[in-house]
Chain A
Amino acid sequence: MTEQTASNKFDWAGPAFKARLNKRKRSQLTLKLLGLGAISIAFGMLFLLVASLVSTGYHAFTQTHIEVEVFLDPEQINADDPNRGNYRQIITDTLVTQFPEVADDRAELRKLTSILSNGAQFSIRDEVVADPDLIGQTVTFKVPVSDPYDQLNKGLMDRETPEEFRRLKNEEIANFDILKERGMVSKPLNTALITNADSRFPELAGLKGAIIGSFYALLTCFLLSFPIGIGAAIYLEEFAPKNKVSDLIEININNLAAVPSVVFGLLALAVFLGWFGMPRSAPFVGGMTLALMTLPTIIIATRASLKAVPPSIREAALGVGASKQQVVFGHVLPLAMPGILTGTIIGLAQALGETAPLLLIGMNAFITSAPATPFDSATALPTQIFIWADSPERGFVSRTSAAILVLLSFLIMMNGIAIFLRQKFQRKW
């Protein structure tokens, strides 16, 4: 290539060109590395996010329990109405049998009872209410310990910290260690995380209310946005005349998709709660709000999958004398259904993660029972995460992470279904 024709007046093999070429290659490499760096930062953050959630959250999937033999003293329980009884005293008595020396020291006694969760008395009461024959017997219960002891047992509290900066004093730790030596301490799977509703005490707090609340809200959202979204999309795609009004609706839908979610919350607060007088904190109202936000997503996805159905199918059906609606509902819609469902599931997954609008309609209330109907007050998963993240108790940190992991696993499941549907029914025309 060097000994070339006369027309070539440049010395391509010369040092100047060589140097230039090297410089150009270096800048090529730089750009490539910058790109790789950018992607690595993004992935690094994703990894950090997941790692921090898992490393803090996995603690919440177990809960320290203490096995106690409780004498259900008939003197303390009203046999006619087992709901009424001094279960607190029963618990205290139980602990005293382990540490007889503190029986008369009120301060010591208080320290001792603080080992067990405040909810322990209620779980024993519930057992007795369910089976009143237990009164008078000695029954073995597994009761959760309170948050500081749970932290201690999981190694989250540093025993080396000077006593005055530690939440548990030396003496309290010693008490707990004695119980541990006696083999009464265990750390089973924390099923309460799923089966309990919210509580002020981290060791008792669970996601039942939030999960059911989110379910009701999503159900409402689906029942409203799915039919309305499909109806709107079919009309706009198949029937609407191309005129100013259709254009307006189209622009409107695109803009609606980009309106900040908190504005939908304001709308719901002013219209649903303020003007229509609907109940605060109800999953039903939350679902209605989410439906308004999901609607554009579903409409856009439905139109895209309707568009993907080739015109030949429409023409073939019209050709044999079907009416336009018969064609759309009989042939086009079924073919477009997988795409529509995929879009809907993705829209619902987004709705499941939405928090701000639910906060504004009061779904961040502190509610200790799961909602029975969509009209009862409840929280939702994301708002529950927000409440727990705001709570000062140490135990709520890992519980927040755990709740996030639960939420993320629901999201992964929904997106997995969407991807599966897309892969399975993907058609090439």
Chain B
Amino acid sequence: MNDMRKIERDVKMTDTKITARNVNVHYGDTHAIKDVNVDIADKTVTAFIGPSGCGKSTFLRCLNRMNDTIDVCRVQGDIRIDGKDIHDKSVDPVQLRAHVGMVFQKPNPFPKSIYDNIAYGPRIHGLAKSKAELDEIVEKALRRGAIWDEVKDRLTQSGTGLSGGQQQRLCIARAIATEPDILLMDEPCSALDPIATAQVEELIDELHRDYSVIIVTHSMQQAARVSQKTAFFHLGNLVEFGDTDQIFTDPKDPRTESYITGRIG
């Protein structure tokens, strides 16, 4: 516990939302994540950067136990959200995922209407007691997803008919609809054009007031633009974690420096 306090102090004075201790992940025979320790603050944007295959997405999927859905994947270690162990028997991954929303690399709206896409989460979790309440939840989520004005007149049309950027914002709104505390974003802009990327980045900036946002990204510029904290992963290790400014201007680890300056990656 002492050890934990010490690191917390390093990370300034915001509340800690997620703590991870000695997290190891194995994919079959490959050791994908090696002894990762990290504390993620509430209401900030934390960026995971690193070369592809470094394990940043895998680590992200540990946080909402999405790795459970893959047969060959084994997760070891202690991950706590608000101090509660997410691998505890009393925690159901189904409810955990309602608290920890996730947005994927490729926009993946369901082949259903825009309304049904947003209402999917609230419906399965039974969050609305009436149609009016559900309407309210949908509208609120779409507004927060910064897409309400674009789709309010065509809520019954298919979500797959939207443009790529709109689809991704729809997916963000869908993740918000269950009122999560944490939003995980797995390279949310890699399939989008620059204009759509700018819109999504703007949205992420908005969101960090209410949520702690963790974003995995390939693009260092993006990490610099949207995040307050940055973690650098390399070959399954968390090499360096700190304020974004510090990581980009004064990296402590030579590996981080090499990556930032473009020598590995």
B81 interface contact, C-beta 8 A: yes
A9 interface contact, C-beta 8 A: yes
Asked whether, in the complex, the Cβ of A12 is within 8 Å of the Cβ of B98, the reply is yes
B139 CB, nearest partner CB in chain A, Å: 16
Q: Which chain A residues (1-53) contact chain B, with CB distance < 8 Å?
A: 1-5, 7-10, 12, 16-17, 20-21, 24
Residues of B within 8 A of A21 (CB): 92, 94-95
Asked whether, in the complex, the Cβ of B179 is within 8 Å of the Cβ of A5, the reply is no
Report how far A414 CA is from B179 CA in the complex, Å.
Answer: 59
Asked whether, in the complex, the Cβ of B92 is within 8 Å of the Cβ of A5, the reply is no
Asked whether, in the complex, the Cβ of B179 is within 8 Å of the Cβ of A9, the reply is yes
B87 CB, nearest partner CB in chain A, Å: 12
Residues of A within 8 A of B96 (CB): 1
Asked whether, in the complex, the Cβ of B91 is within 8 Å of the Cβ of A20, the reply is no
Asked whether, in the complex, the Cβ of A7 is within 8 Å of the Cβ of B95, the reply is no
Q: A7 contacts which of B81, B92, B179 (Cβ < 8 Å)?
A: B179
Q: Which chain B residues (126-147) contact chain A, with CB distance < 8 Å?
A: 126-127
B81 CB, nearest partner CB in chain A, Å: 7
Report how far A5 CA is from B182 CA in the complex, Å.
Answer: 11
Residues of A within 8 A of B81 (CB): 1
Interface range, B side = 10 to 19
B125 interface contact, C-beta 8 A: yes
Residues of A within 8 A of B125 (CB): 17, 20
Asked whether, in the complex, the Cβ of B99 is within 8 Å of the Cβ of A1, the reply is yes
Asked whether, in the complex, the Cβ of A24 is within 8 Å of the Cβ of B94, the reply is yes
A18 CB, nearest partner CB in chain B, Å: 10
Residues of A within 8 A of B181 (CB): 4-5, 7-8
Q: A12 contacts which of B95, B210, B211 (Cβ < 8 Å)?
A: B95
Residues of B within 8 A of A16 (CB): 126
B82 interface contact, C-beta 8 A: yes
Asked whether, in the complex, the Cβ of B127 is within 8 Å of the Cβ of A3, the reply is no
Residues of A within 8 A of B186 (CB): none
Report how far A218 CA is from B141 CA in the complex, Å.
Answer: 66
Asked whether, in the complex, the Cβ of B179 is within 8 Å of the Cβ of A8, the reply is yes
Asked whether, in the complex, the Cβ of B179 is within 8 Å of the Cβ of A1, the reply is no
Asked whether, in the complex, the Cβ of A17 is within 8 Å of the Cβ of B210, the reply is no
Asked whether, in the complex, the Cβ of A3 is within 8 Å of the Cβ of B82, the reply is yes
Contact flag A20-B126 (CB < 8 Å), given A7-B181, A10-B179:
yes
Residues of B within 8 A of A4 (CB): 82, 99, 181
B42 interface contact, C-beta 8 A: yes
Report how far A20 CA is from B128 CA in the complex, Å.
Answer: 13
Asked whether, in the complex, the Cβ of B91 is within 8 Å of the Cβ of A1, the reply is yes
Residues of A within 8 A of B92 (CB): 21
Q: A24 contacts which of B82, B99, B124, B179 (Cβ < 8 Å)?
A: B124
Report how far A21 CA is from B126 CA in the complex, Å.
Answer: 10
Binding site for B on A (CB under 8 A): 1-5, 7-10, 12, 16-17, 20-21, 24
- 7 further interface pairs, Cβ-Cβ under 8 Å (given A4-B99, A7-B179): A1-B82, A5-B181, A9-B179, A10-B179, A16-B126, A20-B125, A24-B94
